[in-house]
Structures are given as structure tokens and as C-alpha cells.
Amino acid sequence: MSIILNKEELLESNSELRGKALDILEAGYEAINTEKILKKKISLENDFLCVEDDSNLKTCMTPIPSGRVLFVGIGKCALEGAKVIEDILGEHLAGGIALDVKGGELKKIKSLIGTHPFPSEQNVEATKEILKMVEGLTEEDLVITLISGGGSSLFELPVGGVSLEHIIDKTKELTAKGADIYELNTMRKSLSQVKGGKFAEICSPAQMVSLIFSDVLGNDIGMIASGPTVLDTPSERVRNILVLSNHDALLAMKNKAESLGYDSIIETETLSGNASEVGKELAQREPKPGTCILFGGETTVKLPAFAPESGLRRGEGGRNQEMTLSALSYISDNSILVCAASDGWDNTDHAGAICDKELFEKAKSLNINPEEYLEKSDSYNFFKKIGGAIYTEKLGSNVSDLYIIIYK
């Protein structure tokens, strides 16, 4: 079954480039499947928990202690990760909590659902439940955490004197200005009781193994989900292991593109900037026939001013749809641009969108102007009207965004 649920609809035009671009994107999605990755990289060998890092080196061999073994999953990969941990640890696992944007049935681990992209009282209550679970830990206990994108919003307990509403307002303010994840998470760390290594301190003196899935450019583990297990001063008690990043997805996409006959390169894993400007720049590149260029990264969207009295309203969408919408008026013949969120959720139920000349001509024939939708950041409703959106549902993976350019 295809990961891209509306693949047949997107291929109704019989576009050769569309089919190949979507096949390449699916190869990326397959490579970051949380359950597959953990089954490959985590094992129990002679009562030792063994973990491979993102370079496939066995970097952690932790003995299963005589005390309790608990699991804490935080972020968009938590539920899928919990399923694998339950299977691997079996009777060694005493319990745990998976805090995710979605819920599901688990055996020993409790599934809790939180909100994203903004925290809520629901998230605070879930965080308190996690903290209650880890009360009274000893040196004989082990906490296994799985930290992934989305965790900054999901795992939240404000410091004394700071309201949850203040954190939400600051997050909205910075987001509207186009702040990147480093700016956002620096603010979040300073206002939280569990971020910036504070959760690792709370779990002391227990041993901790933290499995980290990166959605942050440059893979700074202190910024991923605002680094709840990353202490300012390294400790032998806490082991933070980068398990997965967008490199894994991009390498699989490169291999797929080459198998399809393209000269393929990964140009960067850290693409950033204003989404609409980056989209235009990519679309206006000089075509290189027979090539596939891949990027990973995360752009930002600066929202237009909201002026109810003028009738102007902010639209719906995400950075990937904004990129493709901005590129649509500039895309060259015999080329295609695809921008998609690795978690399948581009701030809406669209994972992203495709951009090619055929889509531009369709918008033109329907008298729908891409620039008008771009002005109010309403990319979601644009693609809803003319097609071109990519649907996957929430995937339980998150390694920043994935971008593809193919030249026929």
C-alpha cells in the first residue's frame, strides 16, 4: 500500500515526472519509519540494552538493572516507538507513558494524546503524569526515553510565575515573525520545568538512555524537543543517542532516484529561509536535464498582518505548501518540485504539495491566481481547489522536511 494515499489521483495526468518524484518521496518515508528503524537499531543481548546510533555504530550497551525499567516517549514518534520498546524489553519493562499527537493501544505503556503546535492544559496534565511516574527513582532504575519532533509543545510544565497562556502567546508571536526552531526552543527552555536537561535531572539518580530522532537542522540534540534529557554538563548517568535524522531519508531518496536513471545529489540537509523566497529560488534554477536534486531542512513562514477591518484574513497552510505555491508561477517546463513534511502533517492534513507546469496551467484555466493566495498565506485552500496536495495522514516519523527537484 502506498504511503501517499492520493497517489493515483496525483498521477491522473499521466505525468512521468510526477510518478518518479512521488516514488522518490515514498522511499524517503520508508527509510524513516519509526518501528522499522528501532527494530533494526535496538536489541536486548544477554540482558544488555544495545543501541546503534545514526552512523550504525553500536554506541550504547547498558545492563538491564535490578530495579524498574520505565519508558517515556515524547513527540510525534512516541507511539510507534513505544510499540517496539514493549516487544524488545518484554517482561523487563515495568511500565511507561507515550505522549504523542495521536493515541493507540499498547500493552504496558500508557498512551496519552497532546496538542501541537501549541501546548495546552491537556499537555501540562500529561507532563505531570509522567513526572509522577518517575518519582522516587533510584540508582538501580533505568529510564528509556524516546525524544522526537513535536516534543516541545507536548511536554510542558511552566516554571513558577509563568502562565501557560504566556508561553502560548510567545510561541505564536515568534512563529508569526518567522522565527526558526532555535529561537523558539531557546525561549521554551527558559520557561519550562522539564526542558533543557531538567527532565534528566528530575529522573536522577536513575540511569537514562535517550533515543533521539532529529527534526532540527544541524542535529543539535539540545534543541530537539528543547532537549529535556540533554544536561549542560555531560553525565555518565545519561546517554543521549542520535538514532535518526533527515540524512537517512535523503540517502534512501538518492538511491531511489539513481535506480530510476537520474544523476542525483543531496545538495544540503539544512535548507532554511523564508518559505516563499526559497520556493521561488528553487523554481528559477537553471534546469539540468536528467538530474534529481534533493534537500532536507526547514523553512519558515512570516504571516501577513491580520487586519479584520480591511477584510484581510490569514489563510491556512504550512511551510511546504507555501514553498510550492510560491514556486508555481516560476516553475520551468519539464521539471517538478515536491515539498513535503516528513511527519505527513504540514500544519494541516496536507503533507505538502507538488509544483509543475501542468498545475500552473490548471490554475490559470480556472482563473485562480497563486499570488493572491500567497499574499494571505492561504496555500492550503489553493491546493484544495486545484489539486496537487499530498496526503499521507500523520506518519509517526519526523526528521524535518524533504524537497525534490527533478529535470526531465
What pLDDT score does 59 carry? 75
Instruction: Supply 384's cell numbers.
Output: 484544495
Report DSSP letters for 206-220, one per residue.
Answer: SEEEEEEE--STT--
CA-CA distance, 221 to 184, in Å (whole number)?
Answer: 15
By CB neighbour count within 10 A (0-12 exposed, 13-18 middle, 19+ buried), where does 124 fall? middle
What pLDDT score does 1 carry? 82
Rg of the chain over CA atoms, in angstroms?
22
Q: Do 55-244 and 7-31+247-407 have the same topology in CATH?
A: no
pLDDT tens sequence across 36-85: 999 999 999 999 999 998 887 777 788 999 999 999 999 999 999 999 99
Instruction: Identify the residue whose cell numbers are 507546469.
Output: 357
Instruction: Supply 116's cell numbers.
Output: 501541537
Q: Provide the percentage of residues in the chain whose pLDDT is more than 70.
A: 98
Where is average pLDDT lowest: 249-258, 273-282, 303-312? Answer: 303-312
Name the pLDDT band for 109 (thresholds 50, 70, 90): very high
State mean pLDDT over 351-370: 97
CA-CA distance, 408 to 143, in Å (whole number)?
Answer: 51
State mean pLDDT over 216-239: 95
- Regarding pTM above 0.75, the answer is yes
Instruction: Supply 110's cell numbers.
Output: 500508557
Helices (H), 207-302: 246-259, 275-283
pLDDT tens sequence across 248-266: 999 999 999 999 999 999 9
State mean pLDDT over 376-384: 96
pLDDT tens sequence across 225-235: 999 999 999 89
For domain 55-244, give the CATH superfamily: Glycerate kinase, MOFRL-like N-terminal domain (3.40.50.10180)
pLDDT tens sequence across 321-345: 999 999 999 999 999 999 999 999 9
CA separation (Å) from 260 to 7, 61, 118, 290, 291?
18, 40, 41, 10, 11
Residue 9 has pLDDT above 80, yes or no: yes
State mean pLDDT over 308-317: 64
CA-CA distance, 335 to 202, in Å (whole number)?
Answer: 52
Helix (H) / strand (E) element for 187: namely helix 181-190
Angle between helices 275-283 and 319-327 (to 10 degrees): 40
What pLDDT score does 135 carry? 98
> How many alpha carbons fall within 13 Å on the CB side of residue 332?
15
What pLDDT score does 276 carry? 96
Reduce the DSSP state of residue 7 to 3 states and report it: helix
- Where do the structural domains in the chain lie, given as residue ranges? 7-31+247-407, 55-244
What pLDDT score does 44 carry? 93
Q: Does domain 7-31+247-407 have CATH number 3.30.360.10?
A: no
Instruction: Identify the residue whose cell numbers are 504523542.
Output: 100
Candidates 225, 241, 215, 164; CA nearest to 189 is 225
Mean residue pLDDT across the chain:
95
Residue 309 has pLDDT above 50, yes or no: no
